[in-house]
């Protein structure tokens, strides 16, 4: 049995701020259980879903030395859907009502977490062949393993994969402070290791010291080797091109299933999607306070409200779209104040055309994926993106910008060959986006047969984890044999 430990700062159903949690919480269930024992380790945040607290069993505790600091680490364990989860407990670091606070605190918090993860292994009696780390919060795991823990025979031969879910967030802080926090020697804070543009950089550490680097779509794997997409680390990623893998994310086909989803008012499958969607669309229009118009082109958005997701394009043409087109928008999201305010403004000006829910709601998200005609995701960059796949699973057609994973998962509609699973535009330009929304609206309103054909192709596309889990297995095997 090959042993794999996934290290992450979030995973559903315990704690989630974005797609990373969906990925880490679902992928491990799709490995071949005869061959791979895949377990997950997370921080035990005070803000984790409280319903799971009674299930957590205390395993052990030890003390983590972080330079001059000595900190308690408790290890808890539970099983969820057949997968073992471990939690690192420390009430000082993992307090608060969000997993992430300010970067200075997070730098120390995740240094502690990374060291505690490695120290926990002999205590939990799980000696992994591969440690699979995710994003900057876990970047120090490969660094500590290769520079320090490898001196202990228990750790010799362990391999590491470092998965990048978003290059934008790198975990950067002053070198002097990071040296003080971690106790790592000055010799590793050089430009070929942890130092980047004068700062210590955890993501860079992960990329330098891991045996393999992966990211969440083939296009993003290539984007990050360019100055436009590399966020300053394109040189390093180009140099490590031979160890860089792009493996597209999947979605959880049990949680996102139009035939069983508890958030829907009527279930449907590919055979009755057209009728099945009608009742859901009506219910969503009603719950969001929009006129119940069957023929209005209903566009959904579920997103963190940040620059990454293309909201400045939306801001640029929203007035024009709302004043000239027969469309309705439903928006679910939280994030930057200026975007939250933008949606409040348009909602007060065009209450019959746009309704926003500024907040976080799993149920509303499912209702939007299931009930809208189209889903808008005009991202500036997108490592993979899960929302467009979730929409397609429910026959809601994505309108996306061709970048990263959006390019890899949405095939643009081609009216001549009657192909495609959605609509897309290439340049980061608000009017290009608006034109493609108008075109989608035209097909929806005037070419029902073609529209329904796209809906069925979208629903048929396989976004389950099956294929990608095999690719991770191949990658683990390759490293284990090295
Ligand atoms: P990212 O991780 O960059 O935010 P993804 O598309 O990979 O983007 O994943 C976003 C995940 O977060 C999806 O599961 C989406 O449904 C969910 N999500 C985003 N915003 C909200 C919200 N306000 N309420 C509920 N779910 C949300
Ligand atoms: C990040 C990316 C998103 C990706 C998710 C899961 O949050 O922004 O594109 O789908 O991670 O890998």
Q: Which of 163, 154, 109, 164 is nearest to 132 (CA)?
A: 163
Structure tokens at 81: 């859907």
Q: What is the pLDDT of residues 43-78, one digit of tens each?
A: 999 999 999 999 999 999 999 999 989 999 999 999
**For a pocket test of ligand 2, which of 10, 249, 377, 465 has the largest count of ligand atoms closer than 8 A to its C-beta?**
249
pTM (predicted TM-score): 0.97
What pLDDT does 482 receive? 87
pLDDT tens sequence across 149-189: 999 999 999 999 999 999 999 999 999 999 999 999 999 99
Instruction: Find, among 112, 127, 123, the residue nearest to 75 by Cα.
Output: 123
pLDDT of the residue at 277: 97
The response to whether residue 111 sits with its C-beta less than 6 Å from ligand 1 reads no
Share of the chain above pLDDT 90, in %: 99
Q: What is 336-396 written as a DSSP string?
A: -HHHHHHHHHHHHH-TTTEEEEES--HHHHHHHHHH-SEEEE--S--SS-SHHHHHHHTTP
Distance 19 CA to ligand 2 centre (A): 5
State the closest ligand 2 atom to the C-alpha of 168, by its place in the atom list counted from 1: 8
- Looking at residue 308, its pLDDT comes to 96
Residue 216, ligand 1, Cβ within 6 A: no
Q: Which long-range contacts (CB under 8 A, 24 or more apart) does 251-255 make?
A: 251/22, 251/26, 251/386, 251/389, 251/390, 251/393, 251/463, 251/464, 251/465, 252/22, 252/25, 252/26, 252/465, 253/393, 253/463, 253/464, 253/465, 255/26
Q: Residue 385 has what pLDDT?
A: 98
The atom of ligand 1 lying closest to the CA of 304 is 20
CA distances (Å), origin 451, targets 278, 283, 408: 15, 22, 21
Q: Quick one: average pLDDT of 104-130?
A: 98
Atom of ligand 2 nearest to the CA of 379: 9
Rounded to the nearest whole angstrom, what is the distance from the C-alpha of residue 172 to the centroid of ligand 2? 19
DSSP line for 270-329: GGGHHHHHHHHHHHHHHHTT----TTSEEEEEEEEESGGGTHHHHHHHHHHHHHHS-EEE
């Amino acid at each position: 049995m090959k042993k794999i430990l996934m290290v992450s700062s979030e995973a559903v159903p315990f704690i989630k701020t974005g797609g990373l949690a969906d990925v880490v919480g679902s992928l491990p269930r799709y490995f071949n259980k005869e061959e791979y024992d895949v377990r997950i380790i997370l921080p035990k945040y005070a803000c984790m879903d409280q319903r799971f607290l009674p299930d957590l069993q205390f395993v052990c505790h030890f003390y983590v030395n972080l330079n001059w600091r000595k900190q308690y680490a408790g290890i808890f364990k539970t099983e969820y859907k057949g997968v073992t989860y471990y939690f690192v407990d420390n009430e000082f670091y993992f307090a608060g009502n969000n997993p992430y606070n300010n970067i200075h605190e997070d730098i120390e918090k995740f240094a502690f977490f990374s060291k505690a993860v490695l120290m926990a292994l002999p205590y939990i009696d799980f000696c992994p062949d591969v440690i699979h780390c995710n994003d900057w919060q876990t970047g120090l795991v490969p660094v500590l393993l290769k520079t320090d823990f490898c001196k202990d025979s228990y750790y010799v031969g362990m391999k590491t994969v470092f998965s990048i879910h978003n290059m934008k967030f790198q975990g950067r802080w002053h070198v002097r402070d990071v040296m003080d926090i971690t106790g790592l020697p000055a010799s590793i804070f050089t430009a070929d290791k942890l130092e980047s543009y004068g700062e210590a950089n955890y993501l860079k550490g992960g990329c330098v010291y891991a045996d393999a680097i992966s990211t969440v779509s083939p296009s993003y794997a290539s984007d990050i080797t360019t100055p436009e997409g590399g966020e300053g680390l394109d040189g390093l990623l180009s140099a490590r091109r031979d160890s860089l893998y792009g493996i597209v994310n999947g979605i959880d086909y049990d949680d996102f299933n139009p035939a069983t989803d508890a958030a829907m008012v009527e279930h449907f499958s590919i055979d009755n999607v057209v009728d099945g969607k009608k009742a859901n669309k009506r219910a969503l229009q009603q719950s969001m306070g929009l006129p119940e118009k069957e023929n209005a082109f209903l566009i959904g958005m579920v997103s963190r409200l940040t620059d990454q997701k293309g909201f400045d394009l939306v801001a640029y043409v929203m007035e024009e779209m709302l004043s000239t087109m027969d469309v309705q928008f439903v928006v679910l999201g939280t994030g930057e104040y200026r975007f939250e305010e933008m949606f409040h403004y348009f909602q007060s000006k065009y209450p019959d055309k746009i309704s926003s829910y500024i907040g976080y709601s799993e149920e509303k998200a499912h209702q939007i994926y299931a009930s809208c005609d189209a889903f808008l995701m005009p991202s500036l960059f997108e490592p993979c993106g899960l929302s467009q796949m979730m929409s397609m699973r429910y026959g809601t057609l994505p309108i996306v910008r061709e970048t990263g994973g959006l390019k890899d998962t949405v095939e643009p509609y081609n009216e001549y060959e009657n192909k495609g699973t959605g609509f897309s535009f290439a340049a980061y330009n608000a009017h290009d986006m608006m034109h493609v929304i108008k075109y989608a609206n035209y097909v929806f309103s005037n070419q029902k047969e073609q529209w329904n054909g796209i809906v069925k192709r979208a629903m048929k596309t396989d976004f389950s984890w099956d294929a990608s889990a095999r690719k991770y297995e191949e990658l683990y095997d390759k490293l284990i044999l090295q």
